[in-house]
Amino acid sequence: MSTVVQAEKAGAKIVDWYSCIISRSIDQAILLKEQASALVKNMEPNDKILAYYSLVEFRHEMLLRQNAGMEEEERFSKIEPILENTVDHLLKYLYYFISGQNEYINERYKSAIKLFRKAERLLEYVDDDAEEAEFYYYAGAVCYRLNQYPFATSYVEQAKTIFDSLGYVDKGLNCQIIIAATNSEVGKYEKADEILKNALQQAEMHLETKALILRTLGLNAIRKREWEEAEHYFKSALAIKEHRQSPVSMKSQYNLANVLFRLQRDLEAREFFKKAEVGILYYRNTEYSARSLVTKGLYIENGNLALVNKGIDLLREHSLEFEIAEVAEETSAYLEKAGKSQEALKYMKVAYEAKLNQNALGVDQA
C-alpha cells in the first residue's frame, strides 16, 4: 500500500522543479518532473498543489518543445476555474505569467501583453529573484515584438541586472540580444553591433545563445544592406549544431536564403529556402510564413505581387508593423530595380504607413 504524501512535500519538489525550468537546467528539470509526478500521484487531496503542478508541467512542455501542443493547452485551460476562488496570489501570478509565456511563444503578442499586465500586478507576491527577472525578460520581449522599444529596454535591463547578480550568464546574454535588437530596429546599427560583439565574447560556453547572437548580427547586417556580412553571420550560426537542432534554425535558413536571393545566387538560395519552408510549416510560425510568401513572390515567381500582398496581409493581421515595413521596403527596391517605379512607390507608401502605425501604437492599445 502506498504511503500518502503530504501536500507540502509535493509542493516543495515542484518548487525545485520550476527553479530548474527557469535556469534552463533541462536534464535536472526532467529528473525533478519524474520525482514531482510520483509525489503528486500519492499526495493527499489538495487542489492548490494540483493546480501548481499543472502550471509547472505546462511550462516544462513549453521549455522542451518551444510551444505547447493542443493536449497541454486543453489541460491547462481547466486550471482557471480552480483559481477563481483562491486567495493564493502566487498561484494566480503563475497562471497569468505562464499563460502569457504561452501566448508569446505562439506569436499572440497582444494577448500575451494583457496577461503579463495581470501578472505584473501580482509580482509583489513573488519572493524569488530569478522568477522576478524571468517576468521582466518576457515582458520586455513581448514589448519588443510590439515595437514598444522604451518599455522593452526598461524591462529587459531590469532582468539583466538581476540575472547578472545571480550569475545566470546565458540569461544575461539573451537580455543583451533583445537590447541590441531594439537598437537595430531604430537604426542604431553601430550600437547594436557593439552590444552583440561584446556578448559574443562571453558566449563561448553557451553555444545555442552564441548562435542567436550571430543570427542577430546577421539581421543587423541586413538592415545595413551589407549582404555578404549577413551571409557570413547566418552561415556561422547554422554551423553550430545546437542552433541547427533548434526551432530558430528555420528562421536563419530563411534569412540566409533571402540574402542569397538578393545576391542573385538563386540556386544556393533555393536550397536554403526549401529547408526553411519545412521548418516554417512544422512550427506554424506566422511571421516567417508571411516573409516566405514575400520572398517566394519576388525571387522564385519573379515578382508575383499577389503572393507579396498575401504575406503583408498576414503580417497585418498580427499587427507586425515593423515586419510589414521591412518587406514592403524590400518589395519597393525590387520593383524599382525592375524599372517599375509606380509600383515601387506604392510599396514605399505601405512601408511608410506601417512605420506610422508602429509609432502610434501605444502599449494600452497593444
pLDDT digits (tens, 9 = 90+) for 232-266: 999 999 999 999 999 999 999 999 999 999 999 99
On whether residue 191 sits in a domain, the answer given is no
On whether residue 202 sits in a domain, the answer given is no
On whether residue 39 sits in a domain, the answer given is yes
343 is written with which cell numbers? 509600383
Total domains in the chain come to 2
On whether residue 213 sits in a domain, the answer given is no
Whether the per-residue pLDDT at 77 is higher than 90: the answer is: no
Lowest mean per-residue pLDDT among 93-107, 141-155, 192-206, 224-238:
93-107
Q: pLDDT band at 18, cuts 50/70/90? A: confident
Cα torsion through 283, 284, 288, 293, rounded to 10: 130
Say if CB 17 and CB 56 are below 8 A apart.
yes
32 is written with which cell numbers? 525533478
On whether residue 331 sits in a domain, the answer given is yes
Whether the per-residue pLDDT at 271 is higher than 50: the answer is: yes
What sign for the dihedral angle of Cα 81, 110, 150, 141?
positive
Whether the per-residue pLDDT at 204 is higher than 50: the answer is: yes
Q: pLDDT band at 88, cuts 50/70/90? A: confident
On whether residue 170 sits in a domain, the answer given is no
Q: Which of 197, 281, 207 is nearest to 24 (CA)?
A: 207
On whether residue 45 sits in a domain, the answer given is yes
Q: What is the pTM of this model?
A: 0.86
Q: pLDDT band at 216, cuts 50/70/90? A: very high
End position of a domain, from candidates 28, 57, 86: 86
pLDDT digits (tens, 9 = 90+) for 280-315: 999 999 999 999 999 999 999 999 999 999 999 999
Measured distance CA(164)–CA(146) in Å, rounded: 26
3-state secondary structure 89-158: HHHHHHHHHHHHHHHHHCCCHHHHHHHHHHHHCCHHHCCCHHHHHHHHHHHHHHHHHCCCHHHHHHHHHH
Say if CB 320 and CB 354 are below 8 A apart.
no
Q: What is the CATH number of the domain that holds 33?
A: 1.25.40.10
Q: Which residue has the higher pLDDT, 68 or 28?
A: 28
On whether residue 198 sits in a domain, the answer given is no
3-state secondary structure of 213: helix
Q: What pLDDT is recorded for position 69?
A: 53
Say if CB 136 and CB 172 are below 8 A apart.
no
Give percent helix, percent strand, percent coil of the chain, each to the nearest 5.
80, 0, 20
- Identify the domain containing residue 39 by its residue range: 1-65+74-86
